[in-house]
Amino acid sequence: MINDQKRKMLLGITGGIAAYKSAFLLRLLKKTDVDIQVVMTEAATQFISKLTMQALSGKPVYDNMWAEEQGHGMAHIETSRGCRLILVAPASANFISKLATGTANDLLSTICLARNCELLIAPAMNKEMWDNKSTQRNIETLKRDGVHIVGPVGGDQACGEVGLGRMAEPETIYETTLKFFQPRLFKNKKIVITAGGTFEKIDAVRGITNQSSGRMGFAIAQAAIEYGAEVILIVGTHSASPPIGCELVKVQSAADMLAAVLDHIETTDIFISAAAVSDYRAKETVSHKLKKDSQFLHQLQLEPTEDILKKISTMKNSPFCVGFAAETENLEKNAQDKRQLKNIPLIVGNLIPQAIGSDFNELLLIDKNGIHKLPRDTKIKHAKNLLNHISKIYE
């Protein structure tokens, strides 16, 4: 078992038109906290520039085994040390042949031969090249050697032909890559997470909502996926992009969100209520657009929405429940009070001005053992800190 502390990987790029997809793949991988080093073959630089990959990775791209600044002449050894994974995407037919025969005549092939970590490849080539018996022999050899393979897939190819050989889509490769970095804290566990805001209709265009971006809930979902959980993400209004690799359920109102939670809660182990659910909705709504001088708007009556977290936490055989307290003042007291009111084992407190629309946050984790302060950091790191804390008190 590889040490879970390793959060480094190498992204290798070989020659092929699919190399342009590696830029999209790198952007997806950068959403995690994995340290990524890009290594390109000379052929790869004919399809996508080193400058592009350097700008996306934020680090110099390695391509020369003899360059002193790239590993002091030992780049083929040093580059892979401490890595959890080497991912080669795209992996050309020529490079696959090198891997199968142990050929090491450039930096990337030498790194792969000298590796002490897992290797994942995403083949990409013309359909006839993929179907060629020599390629298939090489693929079988790599499988026996323990190399992981994702793809290829069928479809239109750059040469104009149609068939099997296209590189798997970046999203698919990304999901496969994440599995190598999971501490598996929540293997075989189902986690339902609510995120974003809700929208309570007044008329055909107006409604009651809030400024929630969904970022914190999405970060928790991302971390839970990486930790091996089956994740159901129930999301309302949002301005961020939800993570890949979970079951996404889109809702609008608080009532919609409650119904979606109830649909999944029976088999849920952990429920994390990170959504900013509207406390009120219009007592009456209309299907058309109201005019500004409408008496209805002047006398708008509100009624409370159902408390989703309280309903779930008070159910018979309820899952482990985690709530959020977003406050503008008296954070510690208000969060403590909310935890007692909801009767939940853990509540997460944060100040609204610091959290809304930002990728950074400060959190208070409050449970029966006291208060645990998490200083300002990225939401994805706080999401992992939160899940680590949950794993300790879950049982």
Q: What pLDDT, in 10s, does the model give residues 70-123?
A: 555 555 567 777 788 999 999 999 999 999 999 999 999 999 998 888 899 999
Average pLDDT over residues 229-251: 91
| Pair 174, 281 in one domain | no
| Pair 175, 35 in one domain | yes
Last residue of a domain, one of 147, 181, 215: 181
CA angle 355, 358, 359 (to 5 degrees): 110
Q: Is pLDDT larger for residue 305 or for residue 299?
A: 305
| Pair 361, 231 in one domain | yes
Q: Tell me, what's the pLDDT at 395? A: 73
| Pair 151, 282 in one domain | no
| Pair 256, 214 in one domain | yes
Question: Kind and range of the H or E element at 201?
Answer: strand 200-201
Last residue of a domain, one of 135, 151, 181: 181
List the catalytic residues. Answer: 159
Q: Tell me, what's the pLDDT at 276? A: 92
Question: What CATH code is carried by the domain that includes residue 146?
Answer: 3.40.50.1950
Q: Tell me, what's the pLDDT at 5? A: 43
Q: Which residue has the tokens 């290797």?
A: 119
Spatial neighbors of 148 by CB under 8 A, at least 6 apart, are: 118, 119, 120, 121, 176
Last residue of a domain, one of 119, 152, 181: 181
| Pair 212, 290 in one domain | yes
Asked if residue 175 has pLDDT above 80, the reply is yes
Give 6's pLDDT tier (boundaries 50, 70, 90). Answer: low
| Pair 177, 196 in one domain | no
| Pair 175, 213 in one domain | no
pTM (two decimals): 0.66
Spatial neighbors of 160 by CB under 8 A, at least 6 apart, are: none
User: Does 299 map to a domain?
Assistant: yes
| Pair 153, 281 in one domain | no
Write out the two tokens for 85.
Answer: 């994974």
C-alpha to C-alpha distance for 344 and 389, rounded to whole angstroms? 15
| Pair 364, 240 in one domain | yes
Give 68's pLDDT tier (boundaries 50, 70, 90). Answer: low
| Pair 176, 240 in one domain | no
Burial label, 78 (beta-carbon count in 10 A; 0-12, 13-18, 19+): middle
Question: For the range 387-394, what are the long-range contacts, defined as Cβ-Cβ under 8 Å and sequence gap of 24 or more?
Answer: 387/185, 387/186, 387/220, 387/223, 387/224, 387/227, 388/185, 389/346, 389/365, 390/270, 390/320, 390/322, 390/346, 391/185, 391/186, 393/345, 393/346, 393/367, 393/369, 394/270, 394/320
Q: Tell me, what's the pLDDT at 134? A: 94
Number of domain units in the chain? 2
CA dihedral defined by 143, 147, 150, 153, rounded to 10 degrees? Answer: -40
Query: In one letter, which amino acid is 53?
Result: M
Asked if residue 227 has pLDDT above 50, the reply is yes
Q: Is pLDDT larger for residue 182 or for residue 58?
A: 58
User: Does 3 map to a domain?
Assistant: no
Q: Are 90 and 130 in contact (CB under 8 A)?
A: no
User: Does 24 map to a domain?
Assistant: yes
User: Does 1 map to a domain?
Assistant: no
Q: Tell me, what's the pLDDT at 185? A: 87
Question: Kind and range of the H or E element at 387?
Answer: helix 379-393
Give 160's pLDDT tier (boundaries 50, 70, 90). Answer: low
Q: Are 181 and 32 in contact (CB under 8 A)?
A: yes
The residue segments making up the domain with residue 13 are 8-181
Average pLDDT over residues 367-371: 91
Give 3's pLDDT tier (boundaries 50, 70, 90). Answer: very low
Q: What pLDDT, in 10s, does the model give residues 199-216?
A: 999 988 888 998 888 999
User: Does 111 map to a domain?
Assistant: yes
User: Does 2 map to a domain?
Assistant: no
Question: What CATH code is carried by the domain that includes residue 337?
Answer: 3.40.50.10300
| Pair 138, 282 in one domain | no
From 28-32, 254-258, 306-310, the region with the lowest mean pLDDT: 28-32
Most confident of 5-14, 73-82, 277-286: 277-286
User: Does 68 map to a domain?
Assistant: yes
